[in-house]
Chain A
Amino acid sequence: MLNNPTINSTISLPKTEFDTLLAALRELGYQTIGPRVRDESIIYTHIEKLSDLPQGYTSKQGPATFRLVKSNHRRYFDVIPGAQSWKQFLFPPRTHLFTVEKVERWDIQPNAEKPPRYAFIGVRGCELAAIEIQDRAFLRADFHDPVYRARREGLFILAVNCLHPAGTCFCASMGTGPKVQGGYDLCLTELEDTFLIEIGSELGRDVISRCQYEPASGFLQSAAAKGLERAAGDMGRHLSLDDLPSLLTDNLELEHWDEVGKRCLSCANCTQVCPTCFCWDATDHTDLLAHSTRRERVWDSCFNPQYSYVFGGNTRPTIKSRYRQWLTHKLGAWKEQYDTFGCTGCGRCITWCPVGIDLTEEIAALRKEAQA
């Protein structure tokens, strides 16, 4: 037991001590959220203790395929997550904005619900990068989103380095993983018997100081480093960024857009599972006599025909035009808007597309046509 862990130092936390860490977070007022097995997949939800985590699982992922695999190992963080991302907590799929009551006149009652304080347990490099990308969209210098900001400011992040990427992962191409790039309170690497934990903030230091931890030996640290090196070479997918974003923004009229437009369902799954997609819509819900109106914000998608509706028609009436908007935004215009790509290489849009459209392959096909 050391007395004084310091920021940026690495300690070793016996797995048996992890429940102490979770309890410490709850004592500090956080809801602890992490991965759990449900419905043949992994979801993010409340966790109480280490044994809630998906011990012994991995996931086999490919275009339109996710299979949870029970393996013989005893590790907790080996399974690459499912469709859900942390986005649902910071930018909820459905938010009550306000209620307007008509008595004598309109009376507006903002949603006074206290924003929850979350501790995210097991945020991967690609996912942390996605949070930082959404920060740029929702917390701009000239504007901030009040719902997002309240949740983001109260957030505790326990990140995890990925040692076993899945078949649709390409974070190494995007530079967001498998090693977490910063922005966390604590960052964990799972070894057989212990968690190596890097301390990233004062808050993280405080939490660790409440646990029975040990020094991280050079042997353990080099084991973690080797594991990460191996993981970087194990990516299921690769995306070349050399000619992006201009490959997309300069080639809006390639024939391949028509080809992918024929396969795309326009069902919006890719945008709903994408941890960076930020589009939303606001809708009113009234009672029968319109005395009370509840205004809600919900996730929207550029794949919904209504999304680009203006009087007289839809500015993107074809699926082709909507797929093109999505991809040229994500890996094209996004760069100009936010000085980053809108993709972190998490692979969700590939895995959870019902017809398995793979953006790494689409970009390769567009490149081939553009260069021909």
Chain B
Amino acid sequence: MSGAYKPKVAVYKFSSCDGCQLSLLNLEDELLDLAGAVEIAYFLEATRAEQPGPYDIGIVEGSITTPHEEERITEIRRECKLLIALGTCATAGGIQALRNFTDADRLAENVYPHPEYLHYLTKATPISEHVQVDLEIWGCPVNKYMVLEAIAALLQNRKPNFPPYSVCMECKRRGAVCVLVSQGIPCLGPATQAGCGAICPANGRGCYGCFGPWPGANLESLAPALKDLERYPGEAMRLLRNFAGYAPAFRKAADSIKE
């Protein structure tokens, strides 16, 4: 890797809480290296200075929830060579995709005195439903080291070294006690993509699947097993319909155990 050319990076925000962009800024120890390796050309969360496109790498946080966002993401795709969807809003719709399971208009009426001023889509959707995405980094929020690894991999022209297994692997490797077995807590770990380091189970909570469905998962078996563990009616379905609930595999599993 020669130091001659620094790829231009742009970071964009759609409907989201900014937490994933913050995890980029939280790369305190690595920011200097990062600034040496790439040129941050557009990143409003970090700096007001903007350089015009086109960009080599576009990093998109958030999901598409308004007609305006729908148009904007198409423009962004045009000005970025590579597009990375950052965080579970961008990869699966995020928590705002909970509206997809209900009537968005009714929600708006219940919350706002003048819903007629709102311009929203009835569904919150991931970036990949609108444009081609080259790499997805899941998580709510993302693991900042996975972001760094993704950029390193792009710079080095290789596949990012993302863990290809379930959260259970990380949970066991760190020696955490399985909350499902030892306390009967419903946990999505066996069906969830690793990457977080099993933070929730290691702190006594069930995994709520924010890193999205693990491609090797067997939700046909896990979903009914979680239902058997329910501490109140509908707990398993709500667990599946959470931050990554609009991801197809979780959606299907939640539907399969709906009352």
Contacts and interface: CB of A to CB of B under 8 A. Distances in A.
A64 B151 CA distance: 40
Q: Which interface class (under 10, 10 to 19, 20 to 34, 35 or more) fits A?
A: 35 or more
Contacts of A269: 168, 172, 178, 190
Contacts of A40: 177, 182-183
A289 B155 contact: yes
Given A265-B191, A287-B152, A301 B165 contact: yes
B155 A288 contact: yes
Interface in B128-153: 148-149, 151-152
B177 to A, nearest CB: 4
B12 to A, nearest CB: 22
B172 A83 contact: yes
A48 interface: no
B37, B184, B221, B225: most-surrounded residue (chain A CB, <10 A)? B221
Contacts of B149: 285
Interface stretch (A134-142, A145-153, A349-357): A349-357
Interface in B207-224: 215-218, 220-222
A285 B149 CA distance: 8
A304 B164 contact: yes
B156 A66 contact: no
Contacts of B168: 267-269, 272, 354
B155 A267 contact: no
A65 B21 CA distance: 40
Contacts, number: 133
B110 interface: no
B177 A65 contact: no
Nearest to B173: A93
A66, A267, A272: most-surrounded residue (chain B CB, <10 A)? A267
Given A39-B204, A288-B34, A65 B190 contact: no
Contact of A354 (B164, B169, B180): B180
Contacts of B220: 262
B1 A290 contact: yes
A289 B35 CA distance: 12
B181 A354 contact: yes
B5 to A, nearest CB: 13
B176 interface: yes
Q: Which interface class (under 10, 10 to 19, 20 to 34, 35 or more) fits B?
A: 35 or more
Contacts of A301: 165, 169
A80 to B, nearest CB: 13
A208 to B, nearest CB: 31
A266 interface: yes
B173 A299 contact: yes
Contacts of B3: 289
Interface string B87-118: 00000000000000000000000000000000
A93 B183 contact: no
Nearest to B172: A272
Contacts of A305: 164, 215-216
B155 A268 contact: no
A354 B161 contact: no
B182 A68 contact: yes
Contacts of A43: 175, 177
Interface string B157-176: 00001001110110011111
B33 interface: yes
Given A262-B220, A268-B166, A283-B161, A290 B156 contact: yes
B177 A306 contact: no
A286 interface: yes
A263 interface: yes
Nearest to A67: B182
Contacts of A232: none
A90 to B, nearest CB: 14
Contacts of A319: 216, 218
A144 B51 CA distance: 57
B178 A352 contact: yes
Contact of B218 (A67, A265, A272, A284): A265
A137 B85 CA distance: 43
A65 B1 CA distance: 52
B231 to A, nearest CB: 15
B30 interface: yes
Nearest to B30: A288
Contact of B33 (A265, A288, A304): A288
A133 B246 CA distance: 45
Given A40-B182, A267-B168, A298 B173 contact: yes
A305 B175 CA distance: 23
B187 interface: yes
Given A39-B176, A305-B215, 15 more contacts: A83-B178, A93-B172, A264-B221, A265-B218, A266-B217, A267-B168, A288-B30, A288-B152, A304-B164, A306-B164, A306-B165, A354-B187, A354-B222, A354-B225, A355-B222
The 5 closest A-B pairs by CB, nearest first: A272-B172, A267-B190, A93-B173, A39-B177, A306-B164
18 contacts: A39-B176, A66-B181, A93-B174, A265-B217, A265-B221, A283-B161, A288-B33, A288-B37, A288-B148, A289-B1, A299-B172, A299-B173, A304-B164, A304-B169, A352-B181, A354-B180, A354-B222, A355-B221
